[in-house]
Structure 1
Amino acid sequence: MTIKTLTYQLKGTIFAAQSCSCSCDPCTCGDRCTCEGAEAYLGPRWRFVGDQIETGMIADVDVSQRLLISLAQTRNEQDTKWQEVILIDEAATPDQIHVLLGLFEQRQGSAAAHPECVPAAQRAVYLVPMSIYKVQGRDTLSVTFARERSRLVRGDARAIALPEWTYNGHISAQQNLEQWG
């Protein structure tokens, strides 16, 4: 499928979170969180910006109930180089993957404080188990990026060796998709 003019109409939410020990739950302060307790975080850093599409069409393809996140990780605590991939929920069809990447890939990165900053290099894309559900009235993301549970749909798995990553936690709504663009 070739997309000549990318038309879209979406209803949903852009959300974010990042690794941090501050009390924000979740933190979205950016790479240098100054909140109390932020410096106590140990481990590789991670951050993501995601899109929860409740209903919508992109180039005449129904993308309702799809999730997509731009995930970046460092290899260890001291590393300052971010490696980024795109994760799409495993129920997405090939046509949905194509139009989701066509719309979001060059317009949204993983930095919560600056989602418009997009990596110059093409990112690998994986289908993964991912869902959002309510816990005590708060949106909670459950996602697993692991070799045995992820399917590479674009890119070279050997070119980027990100650690396996699981998140079961709150997300922070950034804006409505209807206002995005």
Structure 2
Amino acid sequence: MITVIQQNYLLKGSVFGARGDSCSCNPCDCNPCKCADGVNGGTGPNYPFWRVNGYYIEAGTIQDLDVSKLTIMSMTQPVYANNNELWQEVFLIDARATTEQSTALLSIFEHHLDSVPAEVAPLPHTQRAIYKAQLAYLPAEKGNPTFHAIFTPAQTSLLRAASDPEAYQARSWSYDGPMALRNTFVFKK
């Protein structure tokens, strides 16, 4: 006999994203970016410097564990700066999250996180590395939310290594500015 544990959750929050681009949008969240064709003269893909996709939990619980005010996101960037041949995606979880909260957030959101830019060939479906990072999502009454992030792999907690033994160490990334609010959500089960 197999016992199945029913996962219960009630979550309310926001889906956000952006891409680091030379586009005039602030922030740009196009995928692919069509508004920046003039920047590269239409000579090929307009690769971003990075792209993120994230979830901010305004209020909620997973299995009676409070995960309110926490953020989980994916971030994709070239393995080497200014080289678009090889890209890597990592998941970042708010550094304030406990191990239990991190596990709970991953159980709900891991399969929804995808920040690979459309200009980049699909990445292999392998287990992504997960790090804790300084993440602060600030909702806005009107307009775009503000987001502050500092991710330095050498100074950040690695929660789970990538399944690819040849995975590259993620590069440091920081951001301080607006994010595009894609949608709001209420997940209940």
TM-score range, shorter chain: 0.7 to 0.9
Structure 2: segments with no counterpart, 5+ residues: none
Distance 1:66 1:102 in 2: 14
Distance 2:87 2:66 in 1: 32
- Decide which moves more: 125-134 or 168-177: 125-134
Q: 1:90: Cα distance to partner?
A: 0.5
**2:115 paired with 1:110:** yes
Q: What are the superposed Cα offsets for residues 49-70 of structure 1, whole Å, 9 maximum, x if unpaired?
A: 0111110111221110101110
- Normalising by the residue count of structure 2, what TM-score does the alignment of the two structures yield? 0.78
CA pair 39-4 structure 1, distance change in 2 beyond 3 A: farther
Residue in structure 2 matched with residue 146 of structure 1 by the alignment: 152
Distance 2:49 2:174 in 1: 13
Residue in structure 2 matched with residue 69 of structure 1 by the alignment: 73
Identity %: 34
Structure 1: segments with no counterpart, 5+ residues: none
CA pair 118-15 structure 1, distance change in 2 beyond 3 A: farther
Q: How does 1:63-102 map to 2 (within 5 A)?
A: 63-74=67-78, 75-102=80-107
Q: Are the aligned partners of 1:73 and 1:83 in contact in 2 as well (CA < 8 Å)?
A: yes
**2:51 paired with 1:47:** yes
**Residue of structure 1 aligned with 2:133, choices 123, 128, 135:** 128
Distance 2:65 2:188 in 1: 19
Query: How many pairs are equivalent?
Result: 174
Q: Are the aligned partners of 2:48 and 2:117 in contact in 1 as well (CA < 8 Å)?
A: no
Q: What are the superposed Cα offsets for residues 15-44 of structure 1, whole Å, 9 maximum, x if unpaired?
A: 0000111122111111x312145438x997
Q: Give 1:7's aligned amino acid.
A: N
Distance 1:176 1:112 in 2: 22
